[in-house]
Structure 1
Amino acid sequence: EMKVIIDWVANHTAWDHHWTIDHPEFYEKDEDGNFKAPVEDWEDVIHLDYGNPDLWDAMIGDMQFWIDETGIDGFRCDMAHLVPTLFWNRARRDLDKIKPVYMLAESENFDLLEYAFDTIYNWKLMHAMNEVAAGNANSKKLGETISNEFKYLPKGASFMNFTSNHDENSWQGSAIERIHYFLEPLTVLTFLIPGMPLIYSGQEAGNYRRLKFFDKDEIEWKEDKMFGLFQKLIKIKKSITDPAEEPELRNIKTDAPDQVVAIALFKDEVKCLCLLNLSDKEVHFYVKCQNLNGQYRNLIDDDQQSYSCHNRFTLSACGYLVIG
C-alpha cells in the first residue's frame, strides 16, 4: 500500500512568506530588528522563532490542514533537529488525533525518535560508505558502523538508508561520483538492512550527475540496469519485512573482514544473508555462521542451492550475493 508524505520546512520560511507581513512576530530578528537567516550562508530564507507559542499553534494548524483536507499520510521534516523536540512531540500528538501519521526527520538525533518521529536519516551509514569507496576505510569499519548504529535505535523506530539525497547529490557529488564501482553492492546494503531505503530522484533511471539545487534541472528518463536492480530489491525488501516483528540484524564474521561485509537477518533461523565484496579484486572466503545450513534461494537471480557454514564463497570485484 502506497503512502504519500510531503516535505515540511518548519525551521524557516522564504522572504516573501505571508507571515512576514501578517505575523512578523513569528520570526527571529537581528540587533537592528531585521529578519535574519537561520545560518550565515542560508540567505534565501529567514529564521522562525520557536520562543513564540503562537507560532507553535499556527505551524501545527497548517500541518493539520494537509492531513485533514488532503488525506496525506505524514511529513518529511527538513532539518528537524533545528526545531525544539517539544514542538515536534506536540505536533505528533495533535496530528495523530486526526489519523495515525508517518513522520520522517531529516536528522540523525535519536531524541526525535522518542515520540515525535518514526524514522531518521542514517547519515553515519552513508558517510561510512563514502569512506570505504574513497579507500579511507575497509569493510570491517563499515560493518562496525552498521552494528553500532542499530545498537542505539529505540524499539519501533527505524533508519532511512541511502546512497544519495538532494543535498548530497548537489553539493558533494552524485552517488556514482562518490562510491564509484561500489554503487550496486552498497545499494543492495541499503535495502537489506532494517529500515526504509531511499531511491533519490533519477537513481532508477541512471542519473549519474549532480542536479542543480536552486534551478529547474530535468532528469533524462532512460532505461538503466539500476532500474532492474531496484525492482528486485523492492521485492526482496517486501519478502523479508515483517511489520509485527523486525528480523534481528547480525554482523557475520568472515575470514576476509577487510574486503567483505556480511550481514544476516535472523528470525529463529537465517532469513536472509547478504555478502558484499567491497574491494576491486575477486575474493574467496568462509562465513562464520553456524545457523547457515540448508537450501537457500539466490534472491537476486532466483537460483536455488544448498549452503552451509562450510561453504567457500567467491565474489567478483564489487560483487554481491543475497540468499534467503
Structure 2
Amino acid sequence: MSDTRHTPVLIIGSGPAGYTAAVYASRAMLKPILVQGIQPGGQLTITTDVENWPGDASVMGPDLMVRMEAHAKEMGTEIIGDHIMSLDLSKRPFTAKGDSGTVYTANAVILATGAQAKWLGLPSEEHFKGFGVSACATCDGFFYRGQEIVVIGGGNTAVEEALFLTNFASKVTLIHRRDSLRAEKIMQQRLFKNPKVEILWDHTVEEVVGSDEPRGVEGVRARHVETGAITEIPCKGFFVAIGHAPATELVSEQLDMHNGGYVKVEAGSTRTSVPGVFAAGDLTDHIYRQAVTSAGMGCMAALDAEKFLAEMAGEAPAEAGVYAVAPDAAE
C-alpha cells in the first residue's frame, strides 16, 4: 500500500530555484516538502567553479548546492530523495506520484525541475553514449587523462567544459558552427589563451566514429557549414555542450507553454496558467538562465504560493510581500 503525504506546498526540484523557494516557504511556516528528483542539486552539481554567485568570488557548484540544501533543512523544509513520475493538476489538492510509490498531495505546487542537456540527435552519438560520448565534463573528464578530446558548442557551457577538460586532456578541440562564440567575453579570453585548445570554426559534427569491441570513441567527422568539406578529428572523448532544454515533461500537457517548451508565467510573477501552480528557474526562463536569477524566481514562487494559500484561507496579508498563514491553514 502506497504512502500518502500532504503538504500545503510541494516543491518539485532541487536546484537554486527549488532550495530558495523552500527557504522562503519554510519561513512562512508552510511546512513545505521538497522532492529532489533524479539529480539532487540540479545543474550546479556538474559545474566546476562558479564565479558569478554574489558573495563568493569563486565557489564549487556542488559545494554551493550542499549549502543551499542545508539552509533549506535548517529552516524546516522536509527534503525527500524521490523522483516525481506523474503530476495531476486538474483539481486541488494537486496529486503527485513518486518513483518510490509515495503519493504527495498539495494545495500549491512550485515547479523547479530545471533543464536537461540537449543532444545532437545522431545515431552514432546515441550508440557511443557512456562509451566516449558525454554531456558532463565534470562527471567524465577524469577518464581522458592524456587523451585528445572534442567539445561541440559555442556558449558558456561549451567554453567552460573545454577549459575544464584541459586539466586532463593533451588537447581539446572545440567545434562551433559559427565564426564567433556566444560565451561571455572573459571566458572566451581564457579559452583563446589556453595552449591546449584548438577551435574549429564553421563546422558541425556529422558522425561519431569508433570501435565496437570494445566499444569506444576514436574520432568525429566534422562538416564545414558552407563548403561541405569533411574533417576527421581523432579523439577518445566527445563532449556535447550545445545547451539545455526545459524539463517540463510532467506538465507539458497541463500548463501553457511558449518559446519552444518553456512554462509560461504571468509577467512579473511565477503564476502559471493553473491557479496554485508556480514555476521558477530554468524550466520557465528562456532568457537569463543563471543560478542567481533562478534563486530569485524561487523566492518569488514561494511568496506567490504564500499569497495564494492565504487567499484560499480567507486571510489578508499582514503587509506587502509578507503573508501571515498558519502552518496548517490550507490543510
Using the size of structure 1 for normalisation, the TM-score is 0.22
Using the size of structure 2 for normalisation, the TM-score is 0.21
